[in-house]
Structure formats: C-alpha cells, structure tokens
Structure 1
Amino acid sequence: MNLQQLEYFKVIAETKKITSASNQLSISQPALSKAISKLEEELDVQLFERDGRNIKITKYGEVFLKYAESALDDIDRGIKKMEEMKYGNDQVISVAATNCIGITFIPFLISEFLNQHGHTKFNFNIRDTEELFKDLRYERIHMAFFDKIEDIDKYPEIESVLVKKEEYVLIVSRNHYLAKKEEVYLKDLKEEYFIAYNGKNPNQKVSYAELLGYTPKISVEPSEESMLSGLVAAGAGIAIVLNTPMINTNKISILKIKDDIGYKNIYMGWNKKIDLPTKAEEFKAYAIHLDKQMQNS
C-alpha cells in the first residue's frame, strides 16, 4: 500500500466514475483499475461495486475512506510544515479580527509580543465574524479574534478561548464638568448629550439604550469610529467606549461606570485540526497567558 493508491481511492470515491477519476488523476483507466485492485487484494475486501454505469463505494470502502483521508491530510500538513521551516514562513503569523477588536486590542497585543519575540512577522486583516470562521476552517489564517460566538457551533473544527474582558468607561472632554470625577452612575447622565457611532459595521456599535436603560440625547452620529474621540475631546458630547490604550488621556478624561453593565468579551479561535507553526503556537500561548496575568493583577 502506498500514498498514490490512497489518493486514487479517494478520487474515485469522490467522482464515482473511473473515467472521471482517471482524467482528474491523469492516469489511464486500466492502470487506475489495476492500482485499486491491488489495494483491495491487500486489504482483502471489496472497496467499490458496480452501480449501472457508475460505481459506488461499499461499506468497507466507506470505513476505509475516513482513515485514508485522515492519512492524506496528515501528510499534507507535514509537507506544509516542512515548507514553512524551509522557507522561513513559520516565522510569519497570520492573524485577523473584527473591526473593533482589530483597532483597539490587537495592535497592543502584537506590540507586546514583538517586544519579547523578535524576528517575527505578522499578516493582519480585518474581517467580519463569519469571514473569520471561514478563514479558520479553510486554513487561511492561524488565529482569529472576535466577540460573537453564537454561530461557532457551525464550525466544529474551531476551538476558542476567552482571552480578554474589556470594560466600558465614560469619556468626556478635559473641560467637561464631569472630568473632575473618577466614576459616575448612568442615571446621572440623563441630561447629557452623547456621541453615538452610526457606521455600517455592527461590531463597532455601542447600544446606549441597552447600556443606559433609557434612550439618551444624541448630539452627533459620526460614520467613522475614529471620529468619536475627537468629537468628545472637542466638547461635542460624551461617549461610552471600551477602555483601551487608544484613548488619548491628554485631551480626554476617563470615568469608571459604577453600574454593572458587563464587559465586551474577546475570544481567540484557531483550527484545532491543523498544526500551527512554532511562532503561531507561541503567540497563541502568549495571548492566553497575558489574560491570566491581567486576571491575577
């Protein structure tokens, strides 16, 4: 038995026709039939049987197919791993995240990792949650970061872990009367004007009605989240945002919210069926370890 026979067997099982399989494999039909006959002889079972002009896989073939596909997948992963090591691609980590997480949490996570692990390169992209799951499934990225996991059960190959809980804070202009406070209750903000992001990306939006328990007065609705902090700094209104290092505390004051309004959960996911490159494994472990450090601090 050899890998070529396993590949032949797999293609025939997929096409259900010797003619189609021979064309796809660029091999003559007699040679293909002979290879499968030898495989059946070695296994001492019949893998296929005639079904009119087509052929269908037997119960023995169905069982053997699962193991054949697994063996071929393992070989492919091994070859990819050798290529990564040979050409240095195992030093490149491919990461993607949803927009909000990608512009707040990920830049600092990557920066901290690079401070401790030199000679590493990152490929980084922004995707919506569904695209992230598909990218993981089809091995287009090593890791993904997202906050919605409702549909993750559709992707059994993805394993995920909670890596960070981002708290919500209130930001106001340095000239605002609330800037002198350290914390506030949401009920005390009913007369304030809020700035609310109103762009197309739902992952970036903060629902004030849900957080506050009432519909606040809105002064400005920017279509780009990057405009929100600038408007707050200029005194156009106040805003509830995630507490990240992106906030410019030279122009903005951060106030803790005394009400329990929960957190934004950040999850990291990866395809558990593939072997990650060494550097990607180090980054995954670092992200998990970093969260544990924050929890213990």
Structure 2
Amino acid sequence: MELEVLRAFQAVAGGETVTDVAGDARMTQPALSRALARLEQEVGAQLLHRVGRVLRPTPAGQVFKQHVDSLLDSYDRGRRAVAEMVDPDAGTVSLAFLHTLGTWLVPRLLNGFRQTYPQARFELQQAGENGLSACLLDATADLIITSKDPGHPLITWRRLLVEPLWLAVPARHRLARRRRVRLAEVPGEQFIVLKPGYGLRSITENLCHQAGFAPHIGFEGEEVETLRGLVAAGLGVSLIPSPPDVALQGNLPIRYLEMTDVRASRDIGIAWLTSRTLPPAPQRFIDHALEVSG
C-alpha cells in the first residue's frame, strides 16, 4: 500500500473528484481508479461508491478515512521533525488565530520572527473562538492565538497582551462628538454583535450587564469587519476592538469611544497542547511572541 494511494483516497473521500486528484498526482484517471480498486481489495471492503458523477465514502470508507487521516498526519509530522533536526532554522509553524487578529497582531509577530529566522515557514488558518481549541485538539495547528484562556485541561495558555474594546458608533450618532462615554448611557441602542459562541459576544453581554442592562440585539455577524460595516451604515452600535488607524478616525464613518464605567478589554494569548513536545520552530515562536508582547 503506497502513501500516494492513501493520499489519493483521502482526497477523493474528502470530496475531490477523481479527475482533479489524478491530475494533482500526475496519474491518468484510469490508473487512479485501478489503484483505488486495489486499495479496496487490500482492505477487504468497498470504500467508495458513486453518487451521480462523484465518488463518496461508504460507511466503511468513512471509518477507514479516519485512520488514514491519522496515519498521514503522523507521517507528515515525522518528516517535519526530521527536517527540523537537520535544519532547525527552516522549520514550519502551524498557527490558527482569530479573524480580528489577522489585521495587526499576527502580521506583526510573523514579521518580527522572520527577521530572526528568515527561512521559517508558516501554515496559517483563521477560526472563531470556539474553533480554535479544536485546531489544537485535532492536531491541525501547533499553536493558537485567542482572546481568552480556553480553560481546557489539555491546553496551556499564556497571556500576550490586553486589548482595549471601544464603543463604536456611527459618525452621526448623538454621542459621536464625545471621546468618552459611560456604557450605561446606551441601554436603548440597537447592538450589533457576533453570533453566540464567539468570545466577543459573551464579553459584550457581560459588560452590558455590568452597566445595568441587557443589550437589545439588532444584528448578528461572524466577523468584526462585518460589525464595523453595519455600524458605519448607521444600523446600531457595537463593542469592538479599534482598527490600527483609530487615531485618524476623524474622516471615518465610525467613532470609537472610550467607556469609563466598565473595564472594556479582552485578553489576547497564545496556547498549545500541554502534553506535546513542540518542534523547535513553534517553540521559538512562543518565546518570540511572549517576549515582544510582554
């Protein structure tokens, strides 16, 4: 059983077409079909069946794919570990992070790290708060950067910084000319928030409760940039981090106001699996992130 055949099965069972997989593997489609048939003979069960014009995994194929995924991931990690022993300065960091951090913090950390380790590579992925812990637990990321301690017994988390949150209001809002407000001044406003399950959603609800009211939810989104756009359109207010150019907000359709009656901020930290011995590159990145953010 060849690794190339297992990778082809993994791709087809994951939803790719035989034509595309054959092209990527530089094989003819009939040759790939024969290889998959031989794999089924070795396993002793039908792994794929045709649904319309595509192949889909059978129940046996779904079970087998779970083990193939684990095997190939272990093999790839083994190759990576050996490569980093030979040339530790050219390792790979697999990093998952919040969407909101992709516009400022993550680029800053990557740029500083690459200045010291220019040959280092990064595999990046973005996710919501709930999905980040899963990236560690299912081994799709070495490290995560998240807005709170996941509180999971298998995960170690270290704070990098505290990020202020602001009350974002439309430029023509009644409070837009002010720099500071009390959150308790906006109980009747329509709030624009992230969907349940996102860390910023729970922070917003908690801060509003501290200010003495429950927020009236007008719109829910999945990304902070969506919230900014809805605020700019005059559809409500939102508790969000400020963009890097907040100092230049005079010409923007949004005003970011400091809140004086609540501690409006969120912790940003880096996390990894406690039991896992990380390769040199991810461990160096942790050290770098803690040093420059401290």
Which TM-score tier does this pair reach, normalised by the shorter chain? 0.5 to 0.7
Q: What is the match of residue 286 of structure 2?
A: 284
Q: Does 1:145 align with 2:145?
A: yes
Give RMSD over aligned pairs: 3.4
Q: What is the match of residue 83 of structure 2?
A: 83
- CA drift of 1:78 comes to 8.3
- CA drift of 1:119 comes to 3.8
- CA drift of 1:287 comes to 1.6
Partner of residue 261 from structure 2, selected from 239, 259, 267 = 259
- Residues 209 and 291 from structure 1, CA distance in 2 versus in 1: closer, same or farther, beyond 3 angstroms? same
- CA drift of 1:128 comes to 5.8
- CA drift of 1:228 comes to 1.7
Deviations 1:80-115 (A, max 9, x none): 522335588943210113xxxx11124422311333
Using the alignment, how far apart are the partners of 2:238 and 2:276 within structure 1?
42
Q: Does 1:197 align with 2:196?
A: no
- CA drift of 1:171 comes to 1.0
Q: What is the match of residue 168 of structure 1?
A: 165
Using the alignment, how far apart are the partners of 1:272 and 1:223 within structure 2?
33
Amino acid at match of 1:221: F
Using the alignment, how far apart are the partners of 2:129 and 2:193 within structure 1?
19
Deviations 1:134-163 (A, max 9, x none): 54356442211234546412x1xx322111
Using the alignment, how far apart are the partners of 2:141 and 2:92 within structure 1?
11
Q: Does 1:110 align with 2:124?
A: no
Partner of residue 221 from structure 1, selected from 202, 212, 219 = 219
**Do the aligned residues in 1 keep the contact of 2:90 with 2:119 (CA within 8 Å)?**
no
Q: Does 1:271 align with 2:268?
A: no
Using the alignment, how far apart are the partners of 1:86 and 1:128 within structure 2?
35
Using the alignment, how far apart are the partners of 2:219 and 2:127 within structure 1?
23
Q: What is the match of residue 93 of structure 1?
A: 93
Secondary structure of the structure 2 residue equivalent to 1:210: helix
**Do the aligned residues in 2 keep the contact of 1:190 with 1:216 (CA within 8 Å)?**
yes
**Do the aligned residues in 2 keep the contact of 1:104 with 1:246 (CA within 8 Å)?**
no
**Do the aligned residues in 2 keep the contact of 1:96 with 1:144 (CA within 8 Å)?**
yes
Using the alignment, how far apart are the partners of 2:237 and 2:131 within structure 1?
33
Amino acid at match of 1:179: A
Deviations 1:53-75 (A, max 9, x none): xxxxxxxxxxxxxxxxxxxxxxx
Larger Rg: 1
Q: What is the match of residue 179 of structure 1?
A: 176
**Do the aligned residues in 1 keep the contact of 2:183 with 2:262 (CA within 8 Å)?**
no
Amino acid at match of 2:287: A
Using the alignment, how far apart are the partners of 1:262 and 1:204 within structure 2?
11
Secondary structure of the structure 1 residue equivalent to 2:235: coil
Using the alignment, how far apart are the partners of 1:129 and 1:286 within structure 2?
23
Amino acid at match of 2:192: A
Fraction of identical pairs, as percent: 22
**Do the aligned residues in 2 keep the contact of 1:81 with 1:277 (CA within 8 Å)?**
yes
Amino acid at match of 2:229: G
Using the alignment, how far apart are the partners of 2:254 and 2:129 within structure 1?
31
Q: What is the match of residue 243 of structure 1?
A: 242
